[in-house]
Structure 1
Amino acid sequence: MKPRVEVVAVDCLMVRLFDEIAEANMPWMLAAGERLRAVFAERLIDLVPSYTTLMVHYDLLALSPAEAKELIDEALNNLSPDDRTVGQRHVLPVWYDLSVGPELALLSQRSGLTVDQVIRTHSDREYQVFALGFAPGFAFMGLVDEVLAAPRLDTPRKRVTAGSVGIAERQTAAYPVVSPGGWNLIGRTPARLFDRGRDGYSLMQPGDTVRFSPVDHAEFIALGGDDTPLEAQS
């Protein structure tokens, strides 16, 4: 790891820890985040983690750019992952069905797997939450099995139902709110992913891990899921 600091704006610096996305990055990203929060303290306005970077937005009235760079160097000095720094583990129930996951058939065709095998392959793996973005509470997770990797749709949908679970390349995610979207939809979760009354709003945070647990239609409804077919909601 060879960290680099890049200027993003007059009061923002980007700390680039890695050049490639990998699950093994996350312990280092979490450790760097903790160090940066500690050294900047009240002079930190926001810290935005991504797959390989941390954007440091600092108080320009309290620090000069040079001083901010010095604090970053201090935070990264002798950096090492901390086994105690682990995120929460989540299990999200998912109803995998063609009526709410129309790309199940497409992924089956692309991969050569049956629909049941696609479901099993997706739900057998534990995923790392790398970053939040796109919409409030939208957690980018990975990495899905290479056999399921698929590009985004050529034409995004104008309306994707909250709770919809999808795949884009080797990422997977669940839409926390109704929004446009171009991911390959394979199911739907009844979990409440974004809640203004929750501390931090989002159910998931970078560093958390997620497993998707298949449920049948009856359990999905009992958990409060919306089974309206996607076509009927477009």
Structure 2
Amino acid sequence: MYKKTKYLTAGDRALVIEFGNEISEETNSKVRSMMIAVERENIEGIKEITPTYRSLMVHYDPLKLSYSYLLEQMKSLEIKLGNISIPLPEIVEIPTFYGGDQGPDIENVALHNSLSVKDVIAIHSSKEYLIYMLGFTPGFPYLGGMDERIATPRLGTPRTKINKGSVGIAGSQTGIYPTDSPGGWQIIGKTPVNLYDANRESPILLDQGCYIKFVPVTLAQYNEIEDAVRKNIYQIKKYPKKEGCR
């Protein structure tokens, strides 16, 4: 985390507020606090705010809001961040079938780390992963907290298509592909849950600041959940994270 927050211009329509140069829950908590503060202030001329691991981009209309005024307002809000209460985050359970055709690279991950496939599944599903930000494709969660014991480099040659719902590992990160897309992550499993559905009232299932818990399921359970999702009757399991945000 920086000793002093950095305010950077991003063209003539955006301001970037950087809180640090590392991926950490402490830095991301500041990003989330600032995002809540900006939303509550409801400043005319701000069009959109985009959170990342360690920064917040504030998009604004220069015809309604000057850069100097925006900068002044953001610095004023930063001083008050200690008084911002971050809502208690939810844990979202993601049922996942590991290995087989749905996880063709799980043996690569096991071999790279001198583990068994069973070990990889146990380690990967043992964590509660903070959603630091969403991006790349609509609803793609960038997660923190993966165990270094299963860290594995990306594929040497990316695939031209990875199916939606695929759960992957890239370096020390893990994530889920919400839509079909190219990608180079090591695919270890798949969830039948739709992270992105344009026809849903809230198209993106997950929220930045919440947590994911991968829950291993059998192939029969996967097929049953997939059928329930298709019929729009599957209930996502969510519950509050007891200790709150760190």
What TM-score comes out, normalization by structure 2 length? Answer: 0.87
**Residues 120 and 82 of structure 1, relative CA distance in 2, 3 Å threshold:** farther
8 Å CA contact 1:4–1:15 kept in 2: the answer is yes
Write the deviation string for residues 5-41 of structure 1: whole angstroms up to 9, x where unpaired. Answer: 1111101010001110012333222111111223353
Unaligned stretches of 5+ in structure 2? 228-246
**Structure 1 segment 153-232 matched on structure 2, within 5 A:** 153-224=155-226
Instruction: Tell which deviates more after alignment, 187-196 or 74-83.
Output: 74-83
How far 1:88 sits from its partner (Å)?
A: 2.6
How far 1:81 sits from its partner (Å)?
A: 7.0
Instruction: Tell which deviates more after alignment, 83-92 or 125-134.
Output: 83-92
Q: Secondary structure at the match of 2:36?
A: helix
113, 120, 126: which one pairs with 1:111? 113
8 Å CA contact 2:105–2:187 kept in 1: the answer is yes
Counterpart position of 2:103:
101
What TM-score comes out, normalization by structure 1 length? Answer: 0.91
**In 1, Cα distance between equivalents of 2:88 and 2:30:** 11
**Residues 93 and 22 of structure 1, relative CA distance in 2, 3 Å threshold:** same
Write the deviation string for residues 139-175 of structure 1: whole angstroms up to 9, x where unpaired. Answer: 1112210111122212110010110000112211111
Counterpart position of 2:80:
78
**In 2, Cα distance between equivalents of 1:205 and 1:42:** 25
8 Å CA contact 2:120–2:150 kept in 1: the answer is yes
Q: Secondary structure at the match of 1:80?
A: helix
**In 2, Cα distance between equivalents of 1:13 and 1:136:** 22
- State the superposition RMSD in angstroms: 1.6
Counterpart position of 1:231:
none
**In 2, Cα distance between equivalents of 1:139 and 1:196:** 17
Write the deviation string for residues 99-145 of structure 1: whole angstroms up to 9, x where unpaired. Answer: 22121111111111110000000000000001111111111112210
**In 1, Cα distance between equivalents of 2:7 and 2:136:** 24
8 Å CA contact 2:37–2:84 kept in 1: the answer is no
Residue type at the aligned position of 2:138: P
Q: Secondary structure at the match of 1:117?
A: helix
Q: Secondary structure at the match of 2:57?
A: strand
Instruction: Tell which deviates more after alignment, 27-36 or 111-120.
Output: 27-36
Query: Is 1:31 aligned with 2:43?
Result: no
Q: What is the aligned length?
A: 225
8 Å CA contact 1:23–1:143 kept in 2: the answer is no
Q: Secondary structure at the match of 2:110?
A: helix
Unaligned stretches of 5+ in structure 1? 226-234
**In 2, Cα distance between equivalents of 1:218 and 1:48:** 39
**In 1, Cα distance between equivalents of 2:207 and 2:40:** 19
**In 1, Cα distance between equivalents of 2:102 and 2:142:** 20
8 Å CA contact 1:40–1:71 kept in 2: the answer is no
**In 1, Cα distance between equivalents of 2:79 and 2:202:** 29
**In 2, Cα distance between equivalents of 1:147 and 1:174:** 19
